[in-house]
A and B are shown apart, each in its own frame.
Chain A
Amino acid sequence: MTDKPIKLYTLSTCSHCKSTKTFLNECTVQYEFVDVDLLEGEERKAIIEDIKKLNPRCSFPTLIIGDEVIVGFKEKKIKEALGL
């Protein structure tokens, strides 16, 4: 099991984002997530800029496990990055 920090950028309405959250919950790993569509104003702008640096298409979910960026719900890749 990884001790790398895990950060997840999501949309509250997106099916692939929901699947990713469910999957991470099942893996019982600790992670932080932000539903970007629920943010407003400056906070939203700042987070979008952060995401664009990691994933220029700014698509969701964008998952960061340590130094690795995984775009989309890719179960196999996520497992590998988590060391499962």
Chain B
Amino acid sequence: MDAEKLFEILQKVQEPKGYYFNKDRAYVLELLSALILNKDRYGYMACPCRLASEDRDADRDILCPCVYREPDVKEYGSCYCGLYVSKEWNEGKVEEEYIPERRPPEKMGF
């Protein structure tokens, strides 16, 4: 699996749900490559912007797309990593800002 292929597969599934890839394609492909690397390292696609515990069960909230994507895209127009964004975010209608970590510290499996 390469990042381009993963892009195609995920785009088809996620766009109808209202989640778009960041318009910066190079940025997206880098994150998708990181997801593929995490799949090789841990056996699951842990969020590349968070430290994985190497325990799938402990990390189930940060399997990409993480459970925090929905509230983050709703509130900020973008997920924590900047991989998935809203249509409006890509159109420049939402101010780009730093998205704080929403995952509660007690969820960290390390």
Cβ 8 A contact of A37, one of B51, B81, B98? B51
A57 engages B103 (CB within 8 Å): yes
A16 at the interface (CB under 8 A from B): yes
Bound Cα distance A14, B101 (Å): 13
Q: How many interface residues does chain B have, given as a range?
A: 20 to 34
Interface of B is mostly: loop
In the complex with contacts A57-B103, A72-B98, A15-B52 CB distance below 8 A: no
Verify if A36 is at the interface (C-beta below 8 Å from B). Answer: yes
Whether A54 sits at the interface, judged by CB under 8 Å, is no
At the interface, yes or no: B94 with Cβ under 8 Å from chain A? Answer: no
Compute how far the CA of A59 lies from the CA of B110 in the bound complex, rounded to whole angstroms. Answer: 12
Interchain CA distance A48-B51 in the complex, whole Å: 10
- Contact of A56 with B by CB under 8 A: yes
Pairwise interchain contact A11-B105, C-beta atoms closer than 8 A: no
Most chain A beta carbons < 10 A, residue from B30, B51, B100, B110: B51
- A74 at interface by CB-CB < 8 Å: yes
Shortest Cβ gap from A81 to chain B (Å): 15
**Is A69 at the interface (CB under 8 A from chain B)?**
no
Q: Give the B-binding residues of A (Cβ under 8 A).
A: 11, 13-18, 36-37, 48, 56-60, 71-74
Top 6 A-B pairs, shortest CB-CB distance: A13-B34, A13-B48, A59-B101, A14-B49, A72-B98, A57-B101
